[in-house]
Chain A
Amino acid sequence: MKKKFKSNLAKFAMITPISLWMYIMVALPFLYIILISFMHPGTYGGVELGVTLDNYKELLNPLYLVTFGRSIVMSTAVTCVCLLLAYPFCYFVAKKNDIQKKILMSCIMITFCVSMIIRLFMWINLLRSEGAVNHFFINIGWIQVPLKLVYSNMGAMIGLIYMLLPFMILPLFNSIEKIDYTILEAACDLGAKPFQSFINITIPLTKPGIFAGSVMVFIPSMGLYFVTDLMGGSKTLVIGNLIKNQFITARNWPLGAAMSVILMLITYLLLKAYQMAGGSMDDLSGM
C-alpha cells in the first residue's frame, strides 16, 4: 500500500510541474488570444467584452490581404534561397572527416553567440548607400548609382536569409550526414551518371532534412518583425510587423489577436503538410 502511494507520489511529482506549466503558460495564453480576437478594442488599448466577427472581416480588407500575400511570398523566397545556399554547403561538409565536420559545424553554432541585433546593424553599415558593398560594386563598374540595398524589401530579405540560414543548415546537415553512401555506389555500379543519382537518390533520401529545414525557416520568417523593422526601414513587410503594429501602435489588440490566429492557422497547416509528407516533429528542433 505504502509502495503504491510512494509510486503515485513520484509519478505526480514528475508530471505535474511540466503539465501545469504547459497548460498555464502555453494553452491558456493561446486560448485567451483566440478569445480576444472575437472582442471589441478599447479606445486606448485593451479589450472590451462583446462577441464580434468584425476583426476577421477587417482582415478581408485588400490592404491587409496584400500584406499577408507579400509576406508569404517573401517567406517562400527566403526559404528557397536558404535551401539553395545550404544544400551544397551541407553536402560538401558531410564528405569531410569527423574533426573537420565538428569544426565547421561549430563555426555555424558560434554565429549564435553574437547578438542578432548587432550583427544586423553591421549589415546595415555594409549595405547602405555609402557602405562597403556599394563602394565595391561601383569601383568595379557593375553599377553607377548606389543600390538601395538596405531599408527596402531587398534589405529585409538579406537580413532574414542571414538570420535563418543556420536553421536550414542544421536539420539539413543531420539528414545529409545519414546518407548511406553504399546506395550511391550501387547506383554508380549500375551505370547511373553522378547527376542522375543526385537527383533520383540523394535528394529524395534527404527529403526529411529539406522539409524540416524549410519549415524551420518559413515559419519564423513570417514573424521576425525586428529584422524587417531594422533592415526594411520600419515598413511593414511581414505578418509579424502587422501584429506588432496592432499591439503597439494601433493598440487594437483584438485585430492583432485575429492576425495572430491567422498566423497560427498558417503554421498549423504547414506543420500538418509536413507531417503528412512524412516529417517527424523531432527533426524540427535540429537535434
Chain B
Amino acid sequence: MKKMWKRIVSLVILANCAIALLAGCGGAQDASKEEVNLMIWTEYIPDSVIEGFEKETGVVVNMTTYASPDEMLAKLKSSKEGTYDMIICPENYVPIFSGDGTIEELDKSKLSNMENLDPSLLGRENDPENTFSLPYMFATAVIAVDTDVISEEIDSYDKLLNEAYKDQIVAIEDSRAMYAMAAMAKGFDANDTSDEALAAVEDYWSKLFPNIHVFDGTSPKTEMINGECPIGLMYGAEALLAQKEVPSIKCYYPKEGTYMGADAMMITSASGNKENAYTLMNYIMDGDVSAAISAEFPYVNPNLKALNVLGSDYADNILTNPPTEAKENSCTLKDIGDETSKIVNLWTKLKG
C-alpha cells in the first residue's frame, strides 16, 4: 500500500516537473509554430477576421490590446524589443517609432493590396511618403446624446460643461484625444502645448471632469446602452453601435472642431516574424476583409474596395462618412516629442 502511494506521488511530481519544464520552455516563443504578435486597440479587429486569417494562412495571431495609446506605449516600452511584430496605433506615433528605430521601412512589394486604399487619404502629415506606415482606419470623436433623457442639442464642447450634466457623461480614456478636443474647445490648436494652451485645457478639464461619470476607452457604448450615461464623448464607431441598440441616440460633430485621427499599421524592426506580419497587413487591406472589419467596428474606412462592398449604408451615415465641413474643421495629432509628458502629466493629475 505504502509503495503504491509512493509511486503515485512520484508520478504526480514527475508529471508536474514535465509541465513546469514545458511551461518554462513555452515561455519563449515556440520556434515550430508560425505566429505573429499584434498590438492593437481593443474593439478594433473582429475575432472572425483573425480566425479567417489563421485558417487561410495557418499563422497564429497573438493579439495584445490596449484601451488608450498611453497603455500601448507602456506595454511596448516595458517589453523586450521584438516582442510585438505589428503595431496598429495612432499615426502620431509613427515619427516617434521611426525616429528611435522601433519600426522599419515598409517593403511595399509585399503589400499588393495597398492599391485598394484611397490615395487622397495616404501621405498624411506624420508619414508623407508612407515610408513606415499605412492607414488602418480613421476614428472620429463625436458627442452622442440620448434624446429620450436629454432635450438639449449638445453640438459643442462648451455645452458639455453645463452643470446640469453632472455625472452624466461617459468619456474615452485617450489623453491626447481629450487634450485635442479641450484645446479646440478653447480655440487653441490640438497640438499646442504652450503655457497658455495648457492653462486653458486645465480650466476646461476641471469643469468637464465633474460631469464625467465613467472613463471608458474600451467600450464607451456599454454605458450608453445600459442607461448609465445619457451623454457620451466617444469614437464615432462606438456611437454608431450604441445607436443601433438605442435608436434615440443622436450624434453631433462639435462646432469648435472635430478630433479625427488615423490609426497606422507598422512593422517593428526587431520583429521575429516579419513575413507573417506582412502577410497579415496585406490580408487586412483586402477589400472583403476590410469590409468585414468595418461591418463589426464601423470606423471611417480608407479602403475603396471595401467601401464598394459596404455600399450606401456606409456612404450615407454621417458617422462612417463624415460631412465635408467636419473633415475640414478637424485636427490631426502630431508628434510633439518631449511636450507629450506635459499633456500626460496634466491628464494624470486631473483625472485623479
A binding-site residues for B, Cβ under 8 Å: 41, 43-46, 61, 63-64, 67, 128-130, 148, 150-152, 233-237, 241-242, 245-252
Instruction: Return chain B residues, CB-CB under 8 Å to A249.
Output: 68, 70-71, 74, 175, 344, 347-348
A246 and B349 CA atoms in complex are apart in Å by 10
Instruction: Return chain A residues, CB-CB under 8 Å to B344.
Output: 249-252
Q: Are A151 and B226 in contact (CB under 8 A)?
A: no
User: Which residue on chain B has the smallest CB distance to residue A43?
Assistant: B338
Least CB distance from A195 to B in Å reads: 43
Instruction: Return chain A residues, CB-CB under 8 Å to B70.
Output: 248-251
Instruction: Return chain B residues, CB-CB under 8 Å to A248.
Output: 70-71, 74-75
Kindly supply a per-residue 1/0 record for chain B positions 87-120, scoring 1 wherever the CB is within 8 Å of any chain A CB and 0 otherwise: 0000000001000100000000000000000000
A152 and B96 CA atoms in complex are apart in Å by 37
Asked if B32 lies at the interface with its beta carbon under 8 angstroms from chain A, I say no
Instruction: Return chain A residues, CB-CB under 8 Å to B173.
Output: 234
Q: Are B226 and A128 in contact (CB under 8 A)?
A: yes
Chain B interface residue count, Cβ-Cβ cutoff 8 angstroms: 33
A274 and B213 CA atoms in complex are apart in Å by 38
Contact pick for A43, options B68, B71, B175, B341, CB 8 Å = B341
Question: Please, could you name 16 A-B residue pairs with CB atoms under 8 Å apart, sorted by A?
Answer: A45-B74, A45-B77, A46-B77, A46-B78, A63-B350, A64-B349, A128-B228, A152-B167, A235-B351, A246-B348, A249-B71, A249-B74, A249-B175, A249-B347, A250-B341, A252-B345
Q: Are B215 and A233 in contact (CB under 8 A)?
A: yes
Add 12 more A-B contacts to A45-B74, A250-B341 (CB < 8 A): A41-B341, A43-B338, A43-B340, A44-B96, A130-B228, A233-B216, A235-B351, A242-B352, A245-B348, A246-B348, A248-B74, A250-B70
Give the residue among B77, B337, B350 with the most A Cβ atoms within 10 A: B77
A249 and B47 CA atoms in complex are apart in Å by 27
Q: Are B352 and A241 in contact (CB under 8 A)?
A: yes
> Known: A235-B215, A251-B73. Contact between A150 and B228, CB under 8 A?
yes
Least CB distance from B243 to A in Å reads: 18
User: Which residue on chain B has the smallest CB distance to residue A63?
Assistant: B349
The secondary structure that dominates the A interface is loop
Least CB distance from A231 to B in Å reads: 10
Q: Are A148 and B216 in contact (CB under 8 A)?
A: no
Instruction: Return chain B residues, CB-CB under 8 Å to A235.
Output: 215, 351-352
> Known: A249-B344, A250-B348. Contact between A129 and B228, CB under 8 A?
yes
Q: Are B73 and A233 in contact (CB under 8 A)?
A: no
A247 and B77 CA atoms in complex are apart in Å by 11
A63 and B349 CA atoms in complex are apart in Å by 7
A242 and B350 CA atoms in complex are apart in Å by 12
The secondary structure that dominates the B interface is helix
A204 and B223 CA atoms in complex are apart in Å by 48
B40-88 residues with Cβ-Cβ distance < 8 A to A are 68, 70-71, 73-75, 77-78
Asked if B304 lies at the interface with its beta carbon under 8 angstroms from chain A, I say no
User: Which residue on chain B has the smallest CB distance to residue A251?
Assistant: B74
Instruction: Return chain B residues, CB-CB under 8 Å to A152.
Output: 167, 213
Q: Which 7 A-B pairs have the closest CB atoms?
A: A236-B352, A45-B77, A233-B214, A234-B215, A249-B70, A248-B74, A250-B348
Asked if B227 lies at the interface with its beta carbon under 8 angstroms from chain A, I say yes
A107 and B349 CA atoms in complex are apart in Å by 42
Instruction: Return chain B residues, CB-CB under 8 Å to A45.
Output: 73-74, 77-78
Least CB distance from B70 to A in Å reads: 4
Contact pick for A234, options B74, B75, B214, B228, CB 8 Å = B214
Instruction: Return chain A residues, CB-CB under 8 Å to B215.
Output: 233-235
Instruction: Return chain A residues, CB-CB under 8 Å to B100.
Output: 44
Q: Are B213 and A151 in contact (CB under 8 A)?
A: yes
A242 and B68 CA atoms in complex are apart in Å by 16
Instruction: Return chain A residues, CB-CB under 8 Å to B216.
Output: 233-234
User: Which residue on chain A has the smallest CB distance to residue B214?
Assistant: A233
Kindly supply a per-residue 1/0 record for chain B positions 326-347, scoring 1 wherever the CB is within 8 Å of any chain A CB and 0 otherwise: 0000000000011011001101
Least CB distance from B177 to A in Å reads: 13
Least CB distance from B323 to A in Å reads: 32
Q: Are B348 and A151 in contact (CB under 8 A)?
A: no
Instruction: Return chain B residues, CB-CB under 8 Å to A151.
Output: 213-214, 223, 228
Q: Are A148 and B213 in contact (CB under 8 A)?
A: yes
Instruction: Return chain A residues, CB-CB under 8 Å to B68.
Output: 249
Instruction: Return chain A residues, CB-CB under 8 Å to B349.
Output: 61, 63-64
Least CB distance from A25 to B in Å reads: 16
> Known: A63-B349, A151-B213, A234-B214. Contact between A251 and B77, CB under 8 A?
yes
Contact pick for B73, options A44, A148, A150, CB 8 Å = A44
User: Which residue on chain A has the smallest CB distance to residue B173?
Assistant: A234
A44 and B69 CA atoms in complex are apart in Å by 12
B215-234 residues with Cβ-Cβ distance < 8 A to A are 215-216, 223, 226-228
A277 and B77 CA atoms in complex are apart in Å by 45
Instruction: Return chain B residues, CB-CB under 8 Å to A46.
Output: 77-78
Instruction: Return chain A residues, CB-CB under 8 Å to B351.
Output: 235-236, 245
Least CB distance from A6 to B in Å reads: 23
Least CB distance from B133 to A in Å reads: 18
A94 and B77 CA atoms in complex are apart in Å by 52
Least CB distance from A113 to B in Å reads: 21
